[in-house]
């Protein structure tokens, strides 16, 4: 009975979202569109937003030794429910999905893969087609809905040596999609994810509405602020993204340990900000990979009962549980 309910809820959540506004009205929200195949690739819920989590990230020296699937389960137990989305990071040449990815993908979770990019000009020229075909076939073989976020934050100056220019990035994006299409991969939703602060300029890197399924960003308060709400971090991004007819994903967000007793306040304020009708997925960054010594870059709620309770409130609220997954009331 429980299994049947979960499967039914999963299929309902993967249905195409209806129009969210009337195009005849001035200032109406554009209809949300997608190239993802309903019932096969992840599509947005009709109401509310998926909740997900990151439990290990690049820069974490112990990430390879840790059982990330078990760590995700421990976080889920603390939050009182299973996550809709399990997030993993993979480098350009690193095979995936790996065994750890498949364990996190087990059951009703979607897998979000943040795939670092190779050189865009080499990709567009076809020099990495064998590698891309391998990844495409491996994703197809899972038979599960997967979010694929290639070369996130492509607008960062530090990536310019391999991204080159907006035109090069877009050519590489389109080539990747063409190779995946050639392998008959339909269980992928393509997630385009610039920085939050640079979203205005990042628009030049946008491959087009016919090439993107979800628009995404990661948002952290930043070390230059003693305290900063999530709403302030997302302001520029949302101003740009809400003009596009795409569902929005917040691919990373987190409250720094440096906020101490104000962490719960921050999370409750974030829950209000994230209840934007265009935001259809949120992923909490439960990692301290940014710095082992600087609490301004540490975001785990583990070991902080007050922050854990506030994140639990967010995760178990009906808005962020659109598939009505079971909630542990304890």
Residue 147 contacts residue 42 (beta carbons within 8 Å): yes
Q: Given a cut of 80, is residue 16 above it in pLDDT?
A: no
- Out of 20-29, 91-100, 130-139, give the one with best mean pLDDT: 130-139
pLDDT in tens, 171-209: 999 999 999 999 999 999 999 999 998 656 889 999 999
Other C-beta atoms lying within 10 Å of the C-beta of residue 306: 15
Q: Reduce the secondary structure of the chain to three states and give it as a string.
A: CHHHHHHHHHHHHCCCCCCCCCCCCCCCCCCCCCCCCCCCCCCCCCCCCEEEEECCCCCCCCCCCCCHHHHHHHHHHHHCCCCCEEEEEECCCCCCCCHHHHHHHCCCCEEEEEECCCCHHHHHCCCCHHHHHHHHHHHHHHCCCEEEEECCCCCCHHHHHHHCCHHHHHHHHHHHHHHHHHCCCCCEEEEECCCCCCHHHHHHHCCCCCCCCEEEEEECCCCCCCCCCHHHHHHHHHHHHCCCCCCEEEEEECCCHHHHHHHHHHHHHHHHHCCCCCEEEEEEECCCCCCCCCHHHCCCCCCCHHHHHHHHHHHHCHHHCCCCCCCCCC
Give the whole-angstrom CA distance, residue 292 versus residue 59.
10
Q: Are 41 and 145 in contact (CB under 8 A)?
A: yes
Radius of gyration of the chain (CA): 19
Q: Would you say residue 57 has pLDDT above 70?
A: no
Give tens-digit pLDDT for 248-272: 999 999 999 999 999 999 999 999 9
Residue 21 has pLDDT above 90, yes or no: no
Confidence at residue 59, expressed as pLDDT on a 0 to 100 scale: 59
Q: What average pLDDT is seen over the chain?
A: 88
* Nearest residue to 240 (alpha-carbon basis) of 275, 195, 284: 195
CB atoms within 10 A of CB 236: 18
> What is residue 107's predicted lDDT score, i.e. its pLDDT?
84
Report pLDDT digits (tens) over 281-311. 999 999 998 677 899 999 999 999 999 999 9
47-67 burial: b if 16+ Cβ within 10 Å, else e: ebbbbbbbbbbeebeebeeee
**pLDDT higher than threshold 70 for residue 1:** no
User: Is there a contact between 56 and 25 (Cβ–Cβ < 8 Å)?
Assistant: no
pLDDT at 25 over 80: no
- Assess whether pLDDT exceeds 50 at residue 233: yes
Amino acid 113: pLDDT: 97
Ramachandran region of residue 324, left (φ > 0), alpha (ψ -120 to 50) or beta? left
Residue 178, C-beta contacts closer than 8 angstroms, at least 6 positions apart: none
φ/ψ of 51, rounded to 5, equals -115, 135
Q: Is the pLDDT of residue 39 over 80?
A: yes
Distances (CA, A) of 183 to 103, 105, 108, 148: 24, 21, 25, 15
């Amino acid at each position: 009975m429980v299994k049947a309910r979960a499967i039914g809820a999963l299929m309902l959540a993967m249905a195409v979202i209806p129009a969210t506004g009337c195009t005849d009205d001035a200032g109406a929200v554009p209809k949300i569109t997608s190239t993802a195949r309903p019932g096969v690739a992840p599509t947005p819920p009709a109401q509310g937003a998926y909740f997900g989590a990151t439990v290990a990230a690049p820069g974490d020296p112990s990430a390879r030794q840790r059982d990330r699937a078990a760590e995700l389960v421990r976080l889920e137990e603390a939050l009182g429910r299973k996550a809709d989305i399990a997030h993993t990071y993979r480098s350009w040449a690193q095979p995936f999905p790996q065994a750890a990815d498949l364990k996190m993908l087990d059951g009703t979770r979607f897998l979000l893969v943040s795939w670092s990019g190779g050189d865009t000009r080499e990709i567009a020229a076809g020099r990495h087609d064998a590698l891309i075909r391998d990844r495409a076939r491996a994703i197809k073989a899972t038979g599960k809905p997967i979010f694929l976020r290639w070369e996130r934050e492509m607008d960062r100056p530090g990536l310019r040596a391999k991204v080159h220019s907006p035109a090069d990035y877009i050519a590489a994006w389109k080539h990747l999609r063409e190779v995946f299409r050639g392998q008959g991969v339909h269980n992928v939703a393509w997630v385009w994810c610039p920085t939050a602060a640079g979203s205005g300029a990042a628009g030049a890197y946008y491959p087009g509405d016919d090439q993107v399924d979800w628009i995404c960003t990661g948002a952290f308060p930043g070390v230059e602020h003693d305290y900063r709400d999530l709403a302030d971090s997302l302001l520029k991004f949302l101003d740009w993204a809400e003009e596009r007819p795409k569902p929005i994903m917040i691919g990373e967000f987190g409250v720094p340990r440096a906020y101490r007793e104000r962490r719960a306040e921050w999370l409750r304020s974030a829950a209000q900000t994230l209840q934007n009708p265009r935001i259809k997925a949120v992923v909490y960054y439960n990692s301290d990979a940014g710095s082992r010594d600087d609490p301004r870059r540490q975001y785990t709620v583990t070991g902080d009962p007050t922050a854990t309770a506030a994140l639990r409130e967010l995760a178990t609220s009906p808005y962020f549980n659109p598939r009505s997954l079971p909630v542990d009331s304890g």
